[in-house]
Amino acid sequence: MSYLLHIDASSLGDASISRQVAQSFRTQWDGPVVHRDLALSPVPHLSAAGITARITDPARHTPEEAKAAAVQQELIDEFLGAGAYLFTVPMYNYSMPSSFKAWLDQIMAQGHTLDFVNGPATAGRPAVLISARGGGYAPGTPNHGKDHLVPYLETVLGDPHTLGLDLTTVTPELTLAPHNPAMAPLIPLHEASLAEAHEQAGRLAETVGRKTAV
């Protein structure tokens, strides 16, 4: 079995609901894991040197381009070497933490992870996205249509014209209910959503494990 690549993007550490639900996945996962914590070790944002390095002969790289290319290649090799993926990406201000966007920008490169002719090398590999959010975003809620995280990542991670992963999303909601008096009536809904997220994460670990077993 190849390894599970776990990319963590929450800034809250152990207090993060996304990380806690991800732990329910990890507890049930039977296999090697490569864990990259973007809060503890953030990757650099894509720079001008990182962009030009992709279209310049390596023999002609400047020192800045060579350094940027090495960062990208390390992250790309780590991504391509995985057989399954776990992404811990909470919603911040209706979207994702900038640390995760920085990681995406580094690994999404034509000729490496992207292939617009033959399709991506990672097509069909199983992936789980865990994204806690403070409010509710389902149809019929006041925030419906304001989730700019899951739709975006379903395109970037799951579309066959991008990374092509077989993506399942787990979204524990209403996490602010225990902390915001105005949301106190929603605490039972939050608790139910959280319990279901933990259960779903555990089930998905077993399902993904079976898919990647050799």
In this predicted structure, what is the pLDDT of residue 211? Answer: 84
Confidence of residue 6 (pLDDT cuts 50, 70, 90): very high
Number of domains making up the chain? 1
Question: Residues 38, 209, 77, 128: what is their CA dihedral angle, to the nearest 10 degrees?
Answer: -40
Whether the pLDDT of residue 214 is over 70: the answer is: no
213, pLDDT greater than 80: no
61 contacts: CB under 8 Å, gap ≥ 6: 53, 69
- For residue 36, give its domain range: 4-212
Average pLDDT, the chain: 96
Q: Which of 147, 15, 173, 145 is nearest to 93 (CA)?
A: 147
CA-wise closest residue to 1 among 110, 78, 94, 83:
83
Residue 1 has pLDDT above 80, yes or no: no
Instruction: Give dist(CA 175, CA 156) in Å, integer.
Output: 26
Average of pLDDT values for 195-201? 98
Residue 201 has pLDDT above 80, yes or no: yes
Q: What secondary structure letter does DSSP report for 130? A: E
> Of 65-79, 115-129, 143-157, 200-214, where does mean pLDDT reach its minimum?
200-214
pLDDT band of 81, cuts 50, 70, 90:
very high
Average pLDDT on 188-210 reads 96
b/e sequence 93-128, b meaning 16+ C-beta within 10 Å: eebbbebbbbbbbbbbbeebbbeeeeebebeebbbb
The CATH number assigned to the domain holding 128 equals 3.40.50.360
Q: What is the mean pLDDT of residues 86-110?
A: 97
pLDDT tens for each residue of 12-57: 999 999 999 999 999 999 999 999 999 999 999 999 999 999 999 9
